Chain A
Amino acid sequence: MIEIRNLTKHFGNLTAVKDVSFSARKGEVLGFLGPNGAGKSTTMKMVTGFLTPSSGTAMVDGFDVQKDPLQVKSRIGYLPEGAPLYGDMTPLSMLKFVAEVRGIPAGERNGRIADVVGKVHIEGVLDQRIDTLSKGFKRRVGLAQALVHDPEVLILDEPTDGLDPNQKHDVRQLIREMAQEKCIVLSTHILEEVPAVCTRAILIADGALKFDGTPLEMQLMSRRHNAVALTVRAGGGHDIAALSRIEGVDAVDQVDAANGFESFLLYPKDDVAILAPLSRVAHENNWEVEHLSVEKGRLDEVFRQITSTGA
């Protein structure tokens, strides 16, 4: 539904987005990751027709955003960065305005508005000036205006920014509910959000695409993937050297030592399973094991790995 080819944007000498290509289908929730200033928002602004690309194309539902901007814009629901809204309006008048511009027939407008108002839970503030609302409410009003015409494509720039944990949970829930019949692209720098809502993750840094795959594939890239975390009571004759000799173990880090317990992280060679040999050794030596678990891999580690080295 979204097809992006070789999208590039220069601002003077600065190249904000370099040759980015990807596509997204209906039913997908694409998580757009990257450090601040990586080009996430710039890419979204080009897809929604706000910025003109220096080169490359963005197509939505077969329409080129530069040739048929109105066709593209009418298919997209967009929450811009920072959720800008007209402060002197109320959420209700704002939604009425957007519904009218979006061409929703007068008879259906109130029904559509009531529907999105319920979805984002802003019933209590409908007649308050937007200026006076909290950040969380503003974000949700921004979300509501993006949803009011029930678009096929949703582009959300940091939809959970400024929300409290409960509100974040609600918004993620809402995104998951809509995922089936829409194509959703959202940017975030909260990595825990990615496995929770996204079916695919795209990582960009310095304007270039660095990773495109499922959140699971991203976790697999972590050095910690299949590593084993071990906590044992101190003084059982175990040390880094002893742990390193265990079959399949590549390296061992001591991560903590407190209250008479020591914690280690054992990295496997070539992703082999090391839990079984480890537990055998622990049993043979009568170590008092307090905690033993296999790590799934950490996204923040992968994120740092990819974005800092420029790999």
Chain B
Amino acid sequence: MRNTITIFKRELKSYFATPVAYVFIIAFLFLAGGFTFYLGNFYTGTEQDQATLQSFFGFHPWLYLFLLPAISMRLWSEERRVGTIELLMTLPITTMQAVMGKFLAAWFFAGIVLSLTLPFWFTVNYLGEPDNGVILAGFIGSFLMSGAYLAIGSFFSAVTRNQIIAFVTSIVACLLFILAGFPLVTDAVSGWAPASVLDTVRSFSFLTHFNNITRGLIDLRDLIFFGTLMACFLLANVLVIDVKKAD
């Protein structure tokens, strides 16, 4: 645990040691705001002049799709490319501690960025009387989903020393998870697989689980889904690092 925290602190500091953090924060806030107010019809609303943040949260899966792999791509690829992985993995720490420290730092950073959007919450409260419970659920759901994206991204970053490859493969993998409930993915399965498999594939959809949460229903199943997904990808991450540290 102590080692995980040490790695966590080093990683988190490194975001702010370079312009990465600031560029990311500005890009995220700009896009989140732009999408919400312009594309999302924040003022007119889709639900008859209600004060909600639905239009704000609705874009999160898509914003995360492109922005979070940009954070996760360097987690392990960079260590491999520069060779610092040799330094890190010959320190008296376990692979699990290193993977968790790095992942938690990335997730915490995503949390910081998300928390910077809290003024949206204040805004809707100023403009009307939103259901604050639903909005809180939305933030929790968004944070959980960002963790899932980052766990997937961390895994693909561990696979390659090339950050571009890590970035692109993460995006594709995340997109498949977003669209698991849509024809793009289900059509590939429905032709040959039994209905139970199709249902399983559908149940992997980020959008379904995320939308459940943002509607204000924090269902244990949705929490377990995101939790399990993160655990699986992080374990795979540990395995990949253990098996091929050097190349």
**How far is the CB of B107 from the nearest CB of chain A, in Å?**
20
A102 touches B92 (CB 8 A): yes
Residues of B within 8 A of A85 (CB): 84, 87
Give Cα distance in the complex from A97 to B10, angstroms: 7
Residues of B within 8 A of A129 (CB): 17
**How far is the CB of A17 from the nearest CB of chain B, in Å?**
13
A50 touches B14 (CB 8 A): no
Residues of A within 8 A of B92 (CB): 70, 73-74, 101-103
Residues of A within 8 A of B86 (CB): 45, 50, 80-81, 84
With A84-B82, A85-B84 known as contacts, the answer to whether A45 contacts B17 (CB < 8 A) is no
B6 touches A80 (CB 8 A): no
Query: Which secondary structure dominates where chain A touches chain B?
Result: loop
Q: B13 at interface (Cβ–Cβ under 8 A)?
A: yes
Q: A49 at interface (Cβ–Cβ under 8 A)?
A: yes
Say which residue of A81, A84, A89 sits within 8 Å of B17 (CB atoms): A89
Residues of B within 8 A of A84 (CB): 82-84, 86-87
Query: Which secondary structure dominates where chain B touches chain A?
Result: helix
A70 touches B6 (CB 8 A): no
Q: Please provide the chain B residues from 36 to 56 with a CB less than 8 Å away from any CB of chain A in the complex.
A: none
Q: B91 at interface (Cβ–Cβ under 8 A)?
A: yes
Give Cα distance in the complex from A51 to B246, angstroms: 7
B90 touches A51 (CB 8 A): no
Residues of A within 8 A of B196 (CB): none
- Between A and B, how many residue pairs show CB distances below 8 Å? 65
Give Cα distance in the complex from A45 to B246, angstroms: 9
Q: What count of chain B residues pass the 8 Å CB interface test?
A: 22
Residues of A within 8 A of B10 (CB): 86, 89, 97
What class of interface size applies to chain A in its complex with B? 20 to 34
B93 touches A50 (CB 8 A): no
Q: A127 at interface (Cβ–Cβ under 8 A)?
A: no
Give Cα distance in the complex from A89 to B3, angstroms: 18
Residues of A within 8 A of B13 (CB): 89, 93
Most chain-B CB neighbours within 10 Å: which of A48, A50, A81, A102? Answer: A50
Q: Please provide the chain A residues from 108 to 151 with a CB less than 8 Å away from any CB of chain B in the complex.
A: 129, 145
Give Cα distance in the complex from A74 to B94, angstroms: 12
Q: Please provide the chain B residues from 137 to 162 with a CB less than 8 Å away from any CB of chain A in the complex.
A: none
Q: What is the interface of chain B, defined by CB distance below 8 A to chain A?
A: 2-3, 6-7, 10, 13-14, 17-18, 82-84, 86-87, 89-94, 245-246
Query: Ordered nearest first, which 8 A-B pairs have the shortest CB separation?
Result: A84-B83, A74-B92, A73-B92, A80-B86, A88-B17, A48-B90, A84-B84, A100-B6
Q: What is the interface of chain A, defined by CB distance below 8 A to chain B?
A: 45, 48-51, 70, 73-74, 76, 78, 80-82, 84-89, 93, 97-98, 100-103, 129, 145
